[in-house]
């Protein structure tokens, strides 16, 4: 990308979007277009149309989405599928019609089947049933990926899909009901330490395995891939480092300084048993994650202490 290119980051205040902005600015990209939801509701087709007509961004990072953890996904499925379908449809279509050079769509590892050969290859998509707790969100994300492919095939629009593993880090959502596993767990352990609570309850058996990627690593990969001309479909972006929920809980206790007991509520769902990505394609291109899970959790907790705690 030319350093003066007009770059629109949709969802720039979210965890991934804000990290992409940091990465772009660090690499000398300054002509960034950013709008809050109040300024530009992406689920409003007429507002999106007017925005693209006026600004005509050359590159679009589509990270805006309604996201949440297992509880939010289990109880707000209608909201997840409706809002994400609207956002994706409006932005992808407007970007194409107003001459964007390339669009990068942020997918999700929950798009992969619940049970699939590990590590997950890009070719595993739509080869089996999805995890029921994230079905509406995953279905919307699959539709976004298919839309990118269809616009490429029919119109020649250069739209690619990035498939990240579980993302965590600076800018994460710490809402007790809507946050993802790492942020939600960090908050519970931190608050239990402050309150002197002698037991923290973690959902599931603790056996589920998750590949985690620090959001700043993911952002660096997104900027890297936006500039590659040899990517024309979906590509996995992960750290290739996985951890069980049980080990993550114990790591969280260590990082936060919590010294009480940890109990696993086996009546609660584990979600998918394992989600490890095959990252061989992006690694062959010359990119590899730089942050270990332990380093990333420590960085995230230090940031959270200065901004939230």
Question: Is 17 marked within a binding site?
Answer: yes
Catalytic residue at 137? yes
Question: Is 23 marked within a binding site?
Answer: no
Which residue in the list 137, 151, 168, 258 is annotated as catalytic? 137
Question: Is 130 marked within a binding site?
Answer: no
Question: Is 180 marked within a binding site?
Answer: yes
Do 61 and 20 meet the contact criterion of CB atoms below 8 Å apart?
yes
Question: Is 11 marked within a binding site?
Answer: yes
- Report CA-CA distances (Å) from 111 to 62, 70, 140, 151: 17, 14, 9, 20
Of the candidates 153, 125, 123, 157, the residue with the CA atom closest to the CA atom of residue 139: 125
Question: Is 67 marked within a binding site?
Answer: no
Burial 269-304 (b: 16+ CB within 10 A, else e): bbbbebbbbbbeebeeeebebebebeebbebbbeeb
Question: Is 308 marked within a binding site?
Answer: no
Question: Is 107 marked within a binding site?
Answer: yes
How far apart CA 80 and CA 91 sit, in angstroms, is 17
Question: Is 206 marked within a binding site?
Answer: no
Please state the separation of Cα 27 from the chain's center in Å.
21
Three-state DSSP class for residue 213: strand
Question: Is 14 marked within a binding site?
Answer: yes
Question: Is 267 marked within a binding site?
Answer: no
- Per DSSP, 120 falls in state B
Burial 28-39 (b: 16+ CB within 10 A, else e): ebeebbbbeeee
Three-state DSSP class for residue 85: helix
For the annotated catalytic residues, the residue numbers are 137
Annotated binding residues for substrate, as ranges?
Answer: 188, 203, 210, 270
Annotated binding residues for NADP(+), as ranges?
Answer: 11-17, 106-109, 141, 164-167, 180
Annotated binding residues, as ranges?
Answer: 11-17, 106-109, 141, 164-167, 180, 188, 203, 210, 270
């Amino acid at each position: 990308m030319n350093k003066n290119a007009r770059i629109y980051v949709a969802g720039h205040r979210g965890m991934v979007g804000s990290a992409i902005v940091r990465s772009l600015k660090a690499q000398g990209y300054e002509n960034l277009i950013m709008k809050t939801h109040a300024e530009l509701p992406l689920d409003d087709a007429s507002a999106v149309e007017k925005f693209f007509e006026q600004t005509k961004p050359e590159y679009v990072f589509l990270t805006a989405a309604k996201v949440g953890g297992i509880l939010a996904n289990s109880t707000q499925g209608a909201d997840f599928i409706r809002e994400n379908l609207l956002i994706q449809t409006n932005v992808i279509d407007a970007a194409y019609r107003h001459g964007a050079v390339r669009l990068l769509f942020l997918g999700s590892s929950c798009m992969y089947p619940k049970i699939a050969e590990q590590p997950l290859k890009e070719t595993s998509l739509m080869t089996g049933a999805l995890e029921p707790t994230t079905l509406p969100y995953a279905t919307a994300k699959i539709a976004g990926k298919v839309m990118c492919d269809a616009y490429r095939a029919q119109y020649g629009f250069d739209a690619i899909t990035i498939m990240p593993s579980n993302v965590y880090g600076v800018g994460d959502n710490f809402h007790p009901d809507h946050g993802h596993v790492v942020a939600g767990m960090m908050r519970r352990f931190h608050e239990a330490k402050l309150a002197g609570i002698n037991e923290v309850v973690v959902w599931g058996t603790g056996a589920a395995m998750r590949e985690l990627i620090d959001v700043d690593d993911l952002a660096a990969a997104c900027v890297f891939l936006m500039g590659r001309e040899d990517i024309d479909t979906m590509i996995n972006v992960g750290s290739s480092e996985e951890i069980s929920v049980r080990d993550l809980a114990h790591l969280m206790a260590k990082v936060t300084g919590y010294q009480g007991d940890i109990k696993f509520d086996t009546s609660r769902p584990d979600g998918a048993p394992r989600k490890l990505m095959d990252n061989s394609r992006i690694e062959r291109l010359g990119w590899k994650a730089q942050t270990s899970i332990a380093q990333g959790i420590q960085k995230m907790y230090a940031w959270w202490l200065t901004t939230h705690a």
